[in-house]
Amino acid sequence: MKTKVIKIGNSKGIRIPRHILEQSGLKSEVEIEVKDKTIVLKPTSKIRENWESAFQRMSENNDDILLDKEYLEHSTSWDNEEWEW
């Protein structure tokens, strides 16, 4: 599909047909970048989206254990009494 670049104030833009928007998942806000002289538009993603399910899977797989077990063996009274885990 071809479309024209139009003047919008001091900038330029394009009109994106509704069916293209529906297929792409683009809403009111997009991420825009240029790769190899190509403009790429992507739907914005929410920060930390899907983290809850990722943490749940980590817990189920026992991947959420403390990696530095030696730290616990050499902890100080401050670590045990003052620090809030």
DSSP 3-36: ---EEETTEEE----HHHHHHHT--S-EEEEEET
pLDDT of residue 83: 76
pLDDT of residue 75 exceeding 80, the answer is: no
22's tokens: 């529906």
Claim: this prediction has a pTM higher than 0.85: no
* Structural domains of the chain, ranges and CATH numbers in brackets: 6-43 (2.10.260), 51-81 (no CATH)
Let me know: does 32 contact 40? Beta carbons within 8 Å.
Answer: yes
Kindly report the CA angle at 30 between 25 and 36, in degrees rounded to 5? 100
pLDDT of residue 13 exceeding 90, the answer is: yes
pLDDT in tens, 15-71: 999 999 899 888 888 999 999 999 999 888 777 878 889 899 999 998 887 766 666
H/E stretch holding 84 reads: none
pLDDT of residue 12 exceeding 80, the answer is: yes
